[in-house]
Amino acid sequence: MHRRIISVFEHECIRSSENDDEKLSKKELEALQRHSGDEGVPYYSLIHNGVKFCEYVGVIQVGNLTIEVLPKIDRGTTEQWRKILVGMLRKVGLFDVMSSSETSLKIKKNSILDLYIEAFLNKMQQIIRQGVIKKYSKKEENITSLKGKLLFQRHILTNIVHKERFYVIYNFYDSNHLLNQILYKTLNLIRIVNPNQMLTRAISNLLLNFPEMPEIKVTEATFDKIVYSRKNEHYRQAITISRLILLNYFPDINSGANHVIALTFDMNLLWERFVYLSLKKNIVDATVEQQANKPYWKLENKRVVKLQPDLVILKNGTKYVLDTKWKLPHGNKPSHSDLQQMYAYTKYFESDHTILCYPGIDEDFTDGHFYNEDHKLSNHYRCSVLRLKFDFEQYSSSQNFIANWQKHIAKSIYSYCNHK
């Protein structure tokens, strides 16, 4: 199997060409077009003879092709930005399945999808070592020996001419239950779509630890009803990866060869969560809240629409409302839509100081004010733009580069709030 990996940055395009391994083949483009369908998908859009990616980052696999979509706010190699993305995913809990040392060693030669699959296999091996859970289940069966409880009416109806049989219900102890069915389904799926042949033997060996299980249909509701306890806690991380893989797998019903797996993440939401956790971990004398919201509009007989800023910081009676945007603003100036959104936050949440946080190629701030109703500048309507610098030389070469970046983010925001 000829395996290909194409790495692109967010908002870039890939077009189709049969003679270039860095382009899409005709069948791969057709698979992505079918996957997009009439309603489209959030992580790319169709263009003439190709696809254009947006603010979603991660990995999309089409048959034997793996497409990595990486974030980028400045210069840097694909390897550096892959390392940054995996580090951010780990910090926000979307990739908290490997130690940083393990991850760093594997990033250079593997795609993000490889890392997720290998992490799942590692967690499966831990489950095997700790013990596959078995449970008691009830089974009805027409058998030649009496065990359990005789179901008298069913027995009479079924065995009127089979005196040697007994229709019974009994308890049996085995591993055929929901948690194991999910893991078994994930292993079989990975066996089909796994792009890394070095992992094939590990997948086959793990499957030997499970009896053949019935095919189950999984949805969000399947995972939502799982209740963890001390007995099954060691399943949690493997089930978390199973959820991500199974719910983002789209089989190719036409040729059966170009299945699509899309493990993608909205970079704006990832950046928002990353900034929040940076503040939460590194600021001790202020309250940091995420996604505080208030209802602000309602159409008759419809659900209330809520206004929802990204972060709220409360310090010494002062309220700071923060909105995070993963983009480099044109000319280092906020857009009109960003300013309008900040004005709404300022008014509705009675913010003392509203701050728009961008990533930046340098550290800088722009301090400003909104006009009040009398068309005069008001200190109560303060709105600033803060660029949070990411320094490749300082952070990406260090083993703890993500933690250092988080400390710098918290220090920059905290210092700005303190001195303004």
Token pair recorded at residue 70: 């990486």
Distance CA 419, CA 181 (A): 56
Q: Tell me the two tokens of residue 396.
A: 């990406």
What's residue 98's pLDDT? 46
Say what the pLDDT of residue 228 is: 92
Specify the 3-state DSSP secondary structure of 121. helix
State how far Cα 60 lies from the chain centre: 13
Angle between helices 267-282 and 78-91 (to 10 degrees): 60
**Euclidean distance between CA atoms 17 and 196, whole angstroms:** 24
Instruction: Name the burial class of residue 307, with classes exposed (0-12), middle (13-18) and buried (19+) by CB atoms within 10 angstroms of its CB.
Output: middle
Q: Is 372 helix (H, G, I), strand (E, B) or coil?
A: coil
Q: Average model confidence (pLDDT) for the chain?
A: 82
Inter-axis angle of helices 100-107 and 112-130, nearest 10: 140
Are 7 and 68 contacting, i.e. CB atoms less than 8 angstroms apart? yes
Report the pLDDT value the prediction gives residue 105, as an integer from 0 to 100: 44
Distances (CA, A) of 25 to 30, 37, 71, 228: 9, 19, 24, 44
Residue with token string 């946080």: 357
Q: How far apart are alpha carbons 69 and 52 in whole angstroms?
A: 11
Q: Could you tell me the residue ranges of all domains in the chain?
A: 4-131+178-267, 135-174, 283-419
- pLDDT, tens only, 232-285: 999 999 999 999 899 999 887 666 677 889 999 999 989 999 999 999 999 888
Going along 100-240, which residue ranges are E strands?
A: 135-143, 149-150, 166-174
Torsion of CA 5, 9, 10, 12, to 10 degrees: -90
The pLDDT assigned to 177 comes to 86
pLDDT score of 55: 92
Classify residue 132 as exposed, middle or buried by CB count within 10 Å of its CB (0-12, 13-18, 19+).
middle
Low-confidence ranges of the chain (pLDDT < 70): 1-2, 95-110, 136-137, 172-173, 195, 253-256, 291-307, 331-332, 372-380, 392-399, 419-420
In terms of phi and psi (left: phi > 0; alpha: psi -120 to 50; beta: otherwise), the region of 399 is alpha
